[in-house]
Amino acid sequence: AQSVTQLGSHVSVSEGALVLLRCNYSSSVPPYLFWYVQYPNQGLQLLLKYTSAATLVKGINGFEAEFKKSETSFHLTKPSAHMSDAAEYFCAVSLTGNQFYFGTGTSLTVIP
């Protein structure tokens, strides 16, 4: 069974600094990979997804993620954090597209 691990349940960055949120998956076959964001008191919304078309995936709000098969990773980055990026971020994997497995989430705090 596939699973996903998010390292760091809480990450703090200064406004304008690089954001790096880590996600590793375990699967013998490259899965479909997703990053979702959850703002306070809201449901999750898609940031970006890996569909095997390109290893570097660009998403909304300036976020991007790179699929690295050799490292079984799909880390999320943003060059310059903004206050509005404060939220909880979830990595998710799906092997067949029939079910999703979510990571435990990383809460991002942006310090002014």
- Residues lying near another protein in the complex (CB under 8 A): 9, 32, 34, 41-46, 49, 51-52, 90, 94, 96-105
C-alpha of 36 from chain center: 6
The Cα-based distances of 111 to 10, 48, 79 in angstroms read: 13, 24, 15
CA atoms within 13 Å, Cβ hemisphere of 18: 7
Count how many residues are written for the chain: 112
DSSP states of 4-34: EE-S-SEEEEETTSPEEE--EEE-SS--EEE
The distance of closest approach from Cβ of residue 14 to another protein in the complex, given in angstroms and rounded to an integer, is 25
Q: Which is nearer to another protein, 10 or 14 (CB)?
A: 10
Q: Shortest approach of another protein to residue 45 CB, angstroms?
A: 7
- Kindly state the smallest distance separating residue 16's Cβ from another protein, in Å: 29
Q: Identify which of residues 23 and 110 has a Cβ nearer to another protein in the complex.
A: 23
Closer residue to another protein in complex, CB, 7/46 = 46
For 84, the 3-state DSSP assignment is helix
Smallest separation, CB 44 to another protein (Å): 5
Which CB sits closer to another protein, 29 or 112?
29
